[in-house]
């Protein structure tokens, strides 16, 4: 009888410990992942530069986690910052997210795309880009929102192309435009909230995609379980680097959580790239 009580107590404390860790501890443990990009991905303008990739903040306000993230970014002193959507919680305020964006700075600019959560509040989603009641660009932050568009950035006399696919209003014409880029062109850096964009691009195109959305699953699970749950994105592109022909993609675990505030063996990450 005594042994059974001990076993029950150990199980209860063990499960409680896992739940507490996944709920309150791991979601706050931001991991910095340093990624040395393959020499096959030759982008001369980014040589000896630091590029940060952030995704899926899912925030309402700047709390301890977000402040810690901002401090880490300031310490790294990035040359470029890329963000790949889902800055807010579903149908919640975007004030905290806009304040967070206003505090980001990088030597050659901060570039971003929107995620599906950012369009959940249709009345306020436009405030990420424009001033309320006007068609003028917002003055609340200096992040360049790429909505089915391509921009050129000059870095020490050399140019790179950065494109962004809008998750709320994907454009077939824009995808066609990307796929018609000449094979001899330099690498295109492409921001997309969903990693499934990878399947829509030709293997012959020199493109590096930055994506998020999957959260790495939030809990480390085998592929077959994600398949049972119907999470196609997690089955195919849960987390990490992917390559096919000339195209490449990195899917980050992101910073925040959705549905349930819980992470287990899948901590939030800040990805730092060295080309």
pLDDT band at 184 (very low <50, low <70, confident <90, very high): low
Bridge partners of residue 34, in order along the sequence: 272
What local confidence, expressed as pLDDT, does residue 105 receive? 96
- The DSSP-derived string for 72-138 is HHHHH--SEEEEES--B-TT---HHHHHHHHT---TT-EEEE--GGGGSSTTTGGGGTB-TTSSSBP
Q: Looking at residues 136-142, what average pLDDT do you find?
A: 89
What local confidence, expressed as pLDDT, does residue 248 receive? 96
| Encoded tokens for 140 | 């609340």
Spatial separation of the C-alpha atoms in residues 159 and 161, rounded to whole Å: 7
- The per-residue pLDDT for range 87-127, each reduced to its tens digit, is 999 999 999 999 999 999 999 999 999 999 999 987 788 89
What local confidence, expressed as pLDDT, does residue 208 receive? 96
Q: Are 167 and 223 in contact (CB under 8 A)?
A: no
Bridge partners of residue 77, in order along the sequence: none
pLDDT band at 183 (very low <50, low <70, confident <90, very high): low
Q: Are 193 and 113 in contact (CB under 8 A)?
A: yes
Of 5 and 184, the structure prediction assigns the larger pLDDT to 5
Tokens 């493109």 found at: 207
Residue 58 has pLDDT above 70, yes or no: yes
pTM, entire model: 0.95
Q: Are 195 and 249 in contact (CB under 8 A)?
A: yes
Of 177 and 249, the structure prediction assigns the larger pLDDT to 249
Task: Calculate the average pLDDT of the chain.
Answer: 92
- The DSSP-derived string for the chain is -HHHHHHHHHHHHHHHHHHHIIIIIGGG-PEEEEEE--TTS--GGGTT-EEEEE----BSS--HHHHHHHHHHHHH--SEEEEES--B-TT---HHHHHHHHT---TT-EEEE--GGGGSSTTTGGGGTB-TTSSSBPSS---EE-SSEEEEEEETTEEEEEEEE-SSS--HHHHHHHHTS-TTSPPEEEEESSGGGGGGS-TTS-EEEEE-SSGGGSB---HHHHHHHT-HHHHHHSSEEEEETTEEEEE---SS-SSSS--BS---EEEEEE-
Residue 1 has pLDDT above 80, yes or no: no
Neighbours of 7 (CB within 10 A): 10
Q: Looking at residues 11-19, what average pLDDT do you find?
A: 86
Q: In this prediction, what percent of the chain has a pLDDT beyond 70?
A: 97
- The per-residue pLDDT for range 190-202, each reduced to its tens digit, is 999 999 999 999 8
What local confidence, expressed as pLDDT, does residue 182 receive? 57
∠ CA 219-221-223, rounded to 5°:
140
pLDDT band at 132 (very low <50, low <70, confident <90, very high): confident
Domains, the chain, with CATH or none = 2-274 (3.60.21)
Residue 11 has pLDDT above 90, yes or no: no
Spatial separation of the C-alpha atoms in residues 33 and 190, rounded to whole Å: 20
Spatial separation of the C-alpha atoms in residues 152 and 61, rounded to whole Å: 32
- The per-residue pLDDT for range 20-43, each reduced to its tens digit, is 999 999 999 999 999 999 888 999
Q: In this prediction, what percent of the chain has a pLDDT beyond 90?
A: 73
């Amino acid at each position: 009888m005594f042994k059974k009580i001990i076993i029950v107590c150990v199980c209860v404390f063990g499960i409680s410990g896992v739940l507490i860790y996944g709920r309150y501890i791991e979601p706050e443990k931001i991991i910095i992942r340093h990624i040395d990009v393959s020499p096959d991905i030759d982008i001369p303008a980014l040589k000896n530069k630091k590029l940060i990739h952030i995704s899926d903040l899912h925030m309402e306000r700047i709390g301890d986690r977000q402040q810690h993230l901002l401090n880490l970014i300031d310490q790294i002193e990035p040359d470029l910052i890329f963000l790949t959507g889902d800055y807010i919680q579903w149908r919640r305020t975007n004030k905290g997210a806009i304040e967070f964006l206003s505090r980001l700075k990088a030597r050659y600019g901060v570039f971003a795309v929107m995620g599906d959560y950012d369009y959940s509040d249709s009345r306020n989603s436009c405030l990420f880009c424009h001033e309320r009641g006007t068609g003028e660009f917002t003055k609340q932050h200096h992040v360049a929102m790429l909505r089915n568009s391509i921009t050129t950035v000059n870095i020490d006399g050399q140019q790179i192309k950065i494109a962004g696919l809008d998750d709320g209003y994907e454009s077939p014409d824009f995808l066609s435009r990307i796929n018609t880029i000449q094979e001899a062109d330099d690498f295109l850096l492409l921001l997309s909230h969903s990693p499934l964009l990878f399947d829509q691009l030709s293997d012959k195109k020199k493109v590096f995609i930055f994506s998020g959305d999957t959260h790495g699953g939030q809990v480390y699970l085998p592929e077959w379980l994600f398949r049972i749950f119907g999470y196609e994105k997690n089955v195919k592109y849960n987390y990490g680097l992917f390559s096919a022909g000339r195209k490449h993609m990195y899917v980050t675990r992101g910073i925040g959580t959705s549905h349930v505030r819980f992470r287990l063996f899948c901590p939030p990450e800040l990805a730092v790239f060295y080309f």
